[in-house]
DNA sequence: CGGTGGATTGAGGTAGATCAACATGCGTGG
DNA sequence: CCACGCATGTTGATCTACCTCAATCCACCG
């Protein structure tokens, strides 16, 4: 199940620093973009490649934070739960996304695959040494972290102040924008997560998620393609309904 | 109103890297802690000291992100709003806290003082150059950012899944823990923010905040000392009510 | 095909919002 | 030092968006 990553498996190498990773797909803040070919080689030598099944756990809250990860294929949910089981999903990760960075010694949240997935895993200590030797990567990671913070801010606004319709509309638009580069507008947008996971992301219940999607459907704003894909029919209306901040 | 910071105004210098900043008070992730005396001097030479009044705006969402800040005195709220005025407060900053780091060219949120405050302000470009020359500071900032992300995760859980009582209890405990080093247990805990700001932080209304505080008071869990201070009478009960994750 | 786990739909309940009246305390000026 | 006036905060009555509980429905997979 684990093997050392080959060059192409982790990240295409080019002289041009801004070139997106060929394996991960284009990601604005992909960590590789700070690296030249020689540095990519060094980093790749440190990675362990993992193939994960559906609903497989990468780590749980409280686990010692021994590794950091870069998702290369599939989708992952990051969540945090209360003792009685109430769960808040913090975000859905897509290929190119980085996860597992912790300020302390243990993970503060759970990470679990939604689909089959591939990740590059690094020993935390090894990765930190690499960061010390390659400060530009640390700076890029800092940009990734502040980008994540900005996204967390948008999510807090959604959870604290938006209505059910606004939450679902925002969720759909976010998802579309993030997977947008890989899909044509006319293609249906894949929903790799269940209604329960959408509910836990939006702070609603599955019934409300279902009802809101139903309302959007009968209002001709979206079309449901099976239960796990959506086609956006009316961009502007969806935008309007999202309560754009 | 602005002047170059003196050494003590920004940060006490010591050979010991782990020594907390004497001016800011002890903060686990204070940026100064990564610096030796010579580096502190260099950083201080770059800082502009600002004295701010009550309810003064540091920056608003959309403003070009030209500066970063380090709060040295007072309290600041960071928030994000919808077009119709609904506001979500993302956090309250206390002395030692760093703010203003952005992934893009403009601020994604608003920052406003709650009280009179003092900040050290840095030109963003100057600060970024400093980071490039002092990678250990970039690494410390990365720890600060991941600490902020972990706090954002707790806040998302609060906003998405906690009841009104749990939200207020969590808020009070957080505030106490963060200002704890500076207050004895028996001293009342200052609430520098209004009910409206507590409401916008917890995703509730001012009426609900007032009612929940009232209920905690009549349950002998807290004591209200005027409207803007609280004494925690029953730690364990408050902890229990917070729905500790 | 038939079973099973997700998704949908419906009926009714409730936590917290909203609307409204009143209290309090604090800064200001007399 | 006190009286006034406005901000902020509290309390009460009602409303409603969303939750809860419950009954199907449906799609996928053996």
What value, to the nearest 5°, has the Cα angle with vertex B243 and ends B152 and B206?
Answer: 70
Shared-domain flag, residues B39 and B128 = yes
Structural domain ending residue among the three candidates A115, A133, A157:
A157
Q: How high is the pLDDT of residue A231?
A: 93
CATH number of domain containing A181: 1.10.10.10
Print the domain residue range for B231. Answer: 163-241
Shared-domain flag, residues A53 and A30 = yes
Q: How high is the pLDDT of residue B121?
A: 95
B82–A243 CB contact, under 8 Å: yes
Shared-domain flag, residues A153 and A208 = no
Tokens of A17: 């620093």
Q: Which helix (H) or strand (E) holds B79?
A: strand B76-81
Of B86, B147, B156, the CB nearest to A156: B156
Half-sphere exposure of A96 (CA within 13 A, CB side): 19
A80–B245 CB contact, under 8 Å: yes
Structural domain ending residue among the three candidates B102, B127, B157:
B157
Q: How high is the pLDDT of residue B3?
A: 34
B139–A132 CB contact, under 8 Å: yes
Shared-domain flag, residues B217 and B144 = no
What is the DSSP annotation of chain A? -EEEPPHHHH----S-TTPPPTTT---TT-GGGG--HHHHHHHHHH-EEEEE-TT-EEE-TTSB--EEEEEEES-EEEEEE-TTS-EEEEEEE-TT-EE---SSSB-SSEEEESSSEEEEEEEHHHHHHHHHH-HHHHHHHHHHHHHHHHHHHHHHHHHHH--HHHHHHHHHHHHHHHHGGGS-TTSPEE--S-HHHHHHHHTS-HHHHHHHHHHHHHTTSEEESSSSEEEES-HHHHHHHTT--
**Dihedral pair phi/psi, residue B40, rounded to 5°:** -60, -45
- Greater confidence (B5 vs A108) lies with A108
B90, B97, B103: best to mutate for the A interface, most A CBs within 10 A: B103
Shared-domain flag, residues A216 and A149 = no
Shared-domain flag, residues B106 and B208 = no
Q: Is the pLDDT assigned to residue B26 strictly greater than 70?
A: no
Structural domain ending residue among the three candidates B157, B182, B214:
B157
Q: Is the pLDDT assigned to residue A83 strictly greater than 70?
A: yes
Q: How high is the pLDDT of residue A7?
A: 28
A157–B88 CB contact, under 8 Å: yes
Shared-domain flag, residues A18 and A61 = yes
Q: Is the pLDDT assigned to residue A217 strictly greater than 80?
A: yes
pLDDT tens digits, B95-120 = 889 999 999 999 999 999 999 999 99
What distance in Å separates residue B162's CA from the closest CA in chain A? 9
- CA–CA dist A44, A121 (Å, integer): 10
CA distances from B100 to A195, B96, B210 (A): 36, 13, 32
Q: Is the pLDDT assigned to residue A26 strictly greater than 60?
A: no
For residue B36, the Cα-to-chain-centroid distance in whole angstroms is 25
Q: Please compute the mean of the pLDDT values over residues B87-92 and round it to a whole number.
A: 98
* Residues of chain B found within 8 Å of residue A108, distances taken between Cβ atoms: 150, 153-154
Q: How high is the pLDDT of residue B245?
A: 74
Shared-domain flag, residues B173 and B132 = no
Give the helix ranges, DSSP H, for B78-134.
Answer: 124-133
- Judged by DSSP in three states, B45 sits in helix
Q: How high is the pLDDT of residue B38?
A: 82
Confidence at B182, pLDDT banded by 50, 70, 90: low
pLDDT tens digits, B215-240 = 999 999 999 999 999 999 999 999 99
User: What mean pLDDT is reported for chain A?
Assistant: 86
Q: Which residue is nearest to nucleotide D19 (CA to C1')?
A: A205
Q: Is the pLDDT assigned to residue B146 strictly greater than 90?
A: yes
- Among A176-190, A223-237, B21-35, B190-204, the minimum mean pLDDT is found in B21-35
pLDDT tens digits, A43-81 = 888 999 999 999 999 999 999 999 999 998 999 999 999
- CA–CA dist A197, A200 (Å, integer): 5
CATH number of domain containing A29: 2.60.120.10
Cβ atoms of A242 and A202 within 8 Å: the answer is: no
Decide the pairing of beta strands B67-73 and B98-99.
antiparallel
Q: How high is the pLDDT of residue A3?
A: 34
Q: Which helix (H) or strand (E) holds B51?
A: strand B48-52
Tokens of B151: 């706090």
Neighbours of A41 (CB within 10 A): 12
Confidence at A182, pLDDT banded by 50, 70, 90: low
Of A53, A70, A25, nearest to A179 by C-alpha is: A25
pTM of this structure:
0.90
Confidence at B213, pLDDT banded by 50, 70, 90: very high
> What is the dihedral angle through the alpha carbons of B176, B178, B183, B187, rounded to the nearest 10 degrees?
-10
Of B80, B132, B144, the CB nearest to A157: B80
A to B CB pairs, distance under 8 Å: 142
Decide the pairing of beta strands A110-113 and A57-59.
antiparallel
Neighbour-count burial of A204, counting CB atoms closer than 10 A to its CB (0-12 exposed, 13-18 middle, 19+ buried): buried
Residue in this structure with the two tokens 């980093």, named with its chain if needed = A43
A147–B103 CB contact, under 8 Å: yes
Shared-domain flag, residues A85 and A145 = yes
Which chain A residue has its CA at the smallest distance from B145's CA?
A145
Half-sphere exposure of A61 (CA within 13 A, CB side): 17
Cβ atoms of A114 and A129 within 8 Å: the answer is: no
Shared-domain flag, residues A120 and A224 = no
User: What mean pLDDT is reported for chain B?
Assistant: 86
- CA–CA dist B194, B213 (Å, integer): 13
Shared-domain flag, residues A66 and A126 = yes
* Residues of chain A found within 8 Å of residue B30, distances taken between Cβ atoms: none
Cβ atoms of B188 and B231 within 8 Å: the answer is: yes
Q: Which residues, at least 6 apart from A59, have a Cβ–Cβ distance to it below 8 Å?
A: A65, A67, A100, A107, A110, A111
- CA–CA dist B117, B99 (Å, integer): 14
Shared-domain flag, residues B128 and B215 = no
What total of structural domains would you count in chain A? Answer: 2
pLDDT tens digits, A86-141 = 999 999 999 889 999 999 999 999 999 999 999 999 999 999 999 999 998 999 99
Tokens of A20: 């997106």
């Amino acid at each position: 199940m684990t093997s050392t990553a080959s060059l192409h498996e982790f990240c295409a190498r080019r002289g041009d620093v801004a070139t997106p990773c060929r394996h991960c797909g284009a990601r604005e803040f992909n960590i590789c973009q700070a690296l030249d070919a020689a540095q990519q080689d060094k980093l790749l030598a440190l990675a362990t490649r993992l193939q994960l099944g559906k609903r497989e756990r990468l780590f749980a809250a409280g686990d010692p934070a021994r590794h950091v990860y870069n998702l290369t294929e599939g989708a992952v949910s990051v969540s945090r739960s209360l003792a009685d089981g109430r769960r808040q999903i913090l975000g859905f990760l897509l290929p190119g996304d980085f996860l597992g960075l912790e300020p302390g010694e243990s993970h503060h949240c759970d990470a679990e695959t939604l689909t089959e997935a591939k990740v590059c895993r690094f020993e935390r200590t090894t990765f930190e040494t690499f960061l010390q030797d390659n400060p530009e990567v640390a700076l890029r990671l800092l940009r990734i972290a502040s980008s994540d913070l900005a996204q967390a801010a948008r999510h807090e606004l959604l959870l604290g102040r938006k209505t059910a319709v606004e939450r679902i509309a925002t969720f759909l638009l976010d998802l579309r924008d993030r997977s947008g580069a890989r899909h044509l507008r006319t293609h249906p947008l894949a929903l790799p997560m269940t209604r329960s996971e959408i509910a836990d992301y939006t702070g609603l219940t599955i019934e409300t998620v279902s009802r809101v999607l139903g309302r959007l459907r009968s209002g001709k704003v979206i079309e449901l393609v099976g239960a796990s894909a959506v086609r956006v029919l009316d961009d502007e209306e969806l935008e309007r309904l999202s309560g754009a901040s």
